Amino acid sequence: MDSEKVLNVYNWSDYIDPTIVPGFEKEYGIKVNYDVYDSNDVLETKLLAARTGYDVVVPTAPFMQRQIGAGVYQKLDKALLPNLSNVDPALNRSVEVNDPGNLYGVIYFWGTSGVGYDEDRIAAAMPDAPLDSFAMLYDPGVISHFKDCGVAILDQPDEAVETVLLYLGRDPNSESLEDLKAAERVLLSIRPYVRYINSANYVDGLANGQICLALTWNGDIGQARARAREAGRSTRFGYSLPKEGAMMYFDLLGIPADAPHPRNAHLFINYLLRADVAARNSNAVHYAVGNAAAYQLVDPAIYRDGSIYLSDEQRRRLHPMGSHTLAFMRELNRTWTRFKTGQ
């Protein structure tokens, strides 16, 4: 019951400013239990099994779209969310592809998946590396140059395959099995050169020099820079939005239908939508918030970085992630298993 001063949050790892939860607890006297995951599949499995005990979760938009159809979420009570007025209307319209009317989700962060790299080690391994292309990752003749300094791929089957399809000049949201097979051939051809497939540890891998190249989310490059500095390393990192295009994603705050503390969940979401809180979150996590009121408060070094808050020209090269049918997801996961095992 909401008379209980408790809130249970389930979010991506390394995806919140560490001062925000204590600040919320102090302001509202609500104890926050905070758990993390590193893939949408982990979250979806729990949500579809029901009775998770979570009050706030953070799915990526296409996953939320499918989960809305399964009755996983309760509609937001917008009367309890006055700070919704801070949300960037243009971004809200983009999300309506997945959540018509923005009835169930609120933008937490948004970003892109592209090519992240250690500038000096890449230049040493291949001086004429095609930094502006997914060929860095998907052309065996290119990625083989980086095997010794380490390559990582996000453990996100849908997003990774979508980037392969962009590289091949195909529709990234295609459910054609022929397109999926073409993507699988590319993935298997590069597997010998990939050190690990992981969505949680590669940021530290970049920061400590275990890897030099990754299919990465844009904000994670900022995190890698910060962690390298903390460790006394002067590594220079780059992030490329490839010429073939890039995938654009939104991570949304949602409230499960069986959330035990829905009123507290609304309080927390409204708190995250405060301009000062959203800006602090963006500064710490190095991702773009969808909060127009926060833009002027974001650290200028982050706001003008060029890979986080994007120009109109950059946005025109982005493709929103579509939702896939369960039948296609089964085929996609089989492809991904063969890629991960190299068989």
Q: What is the pLDDT of residue 326?
A: 87
Q: What is the pLDDT of residue 107?
A: 98
DSSP string for 7-51: EEEEEETT-S-TTHHHHHHHHH--EEEEEEES-HHHHHHHHHH--
CB contact set of 230 (below 8 Å; sequence gap of 6+): none
Q: What is the pLDDT of residue 310?
A: 92
Place of tokens 């790299």: 117
| d(C-alpha 218, C-alpha 110), whole Å | 10
| d(C-alpha 202, C-alpha 14), whole Å | 12
Cα–Cα distances (Å) from 53 to 6, 46, 105, 291, in that order, read: 11, 10, 18, 28
| d(C-alpha 35, C-alpha 37), whole Å | 7
Q: What is the pLDDT of residue 2?
A: 66
Question: 78-135, pLDDT tens digit by residue?
Answer: 999 999 999 999 999 999 989 999 999 999 999 999 999 999 999 999 999 999 999 9
**Model confidence, pTM:** 0.87
Q: What is the pLDDT of residue 117?
A: 98
**CA-atom Rg of the chain in angstroms:** 20
For the chain, residues with pLDDT lower than 50 are 1
Single-letter amino acid, residue 45 = T
Cβ neighbours, 10 Å, residue 66 = 19
Question: 225-256, pLDDT tens digit by residue?
Answer: 999 999 999 899 999 999 999 999 999 999 99
Q: What is the pLDDT of residue 315?
A: 87
Q: What is the pLDDT of residue 312?
A: 85
Under 8 Å between Cβ of 223 and 203 = yes
Question: What is the distance of C-alpha 42 from the center of its chain?
Answer: 14
Question: What is the distance of C-alpha 147 from the center of its chain?
Answer: 25
CB contact set of 129 (below 8 Å; sequence gap of 6+): 122, 123, 136, 142, 145
Q: What is the pLDDT of residue 199?
A: 86
Tell how many helices (H) and how many strands (E) occur in the chain: 16, 10
Q: What is the pLDDT of residue 210?
A: 95
